[in-house]
């Protein structure tokens, strides 16, 4: 039954699922980026600024990247 379900699943994600995955992944990455930036700079304010700026940009690019790959059938 599980095998049948896995085989019948569409390779495309719904936009809502892709968006939720993107937001949760980027939140996790913000924490990591801020921690690394804090270790390098020693400044909490600079670390938060670096973490937020880089991850806001990466969030948008990751979402677009995922959506493009949803339209590529290679390897599916």
Quick one: pLDDT band at residue 8, thresholds 50, 70, 90?
Answer: low
pLDDT of 54 reads 92
- The model's pLDDT over 16-69, given as tens digits with 9 standing for 90+, comes to 998 898 789 888 989 999 999 999 999 999 999 999 999 888 878 988 999 999
Instruction: Let me know: does 69 contact 4? Beta carbons within 8 Å.
Output: no
Alpha carbon distance 54, 40 (integer Å): 15
Residue 6 has pLDDT above 80, yes or no: no
Alpha carbon distance 75, 8 (integer Å): 16
Instruction: Let me know: does 51 contact 30? Beta carbons within 8 Å.
Output: yes
């Amino acid at each position: 039954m599980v095998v049948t379900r896995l085989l019948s699943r569409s390779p495309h994600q719904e936009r809502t699922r892709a968006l939720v995955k993107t937001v949760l992944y980027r939140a996790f990455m913000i924490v990591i980026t801020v921690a690394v930036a804090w270790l390098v700079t020693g400044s909490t304010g600079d670390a938060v600024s670096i973490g937020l700026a880089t991850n806001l940009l990466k969030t948008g690019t990751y979402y677009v990247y995922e959506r493009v790959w949803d339209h590529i059938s290679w390897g599916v």
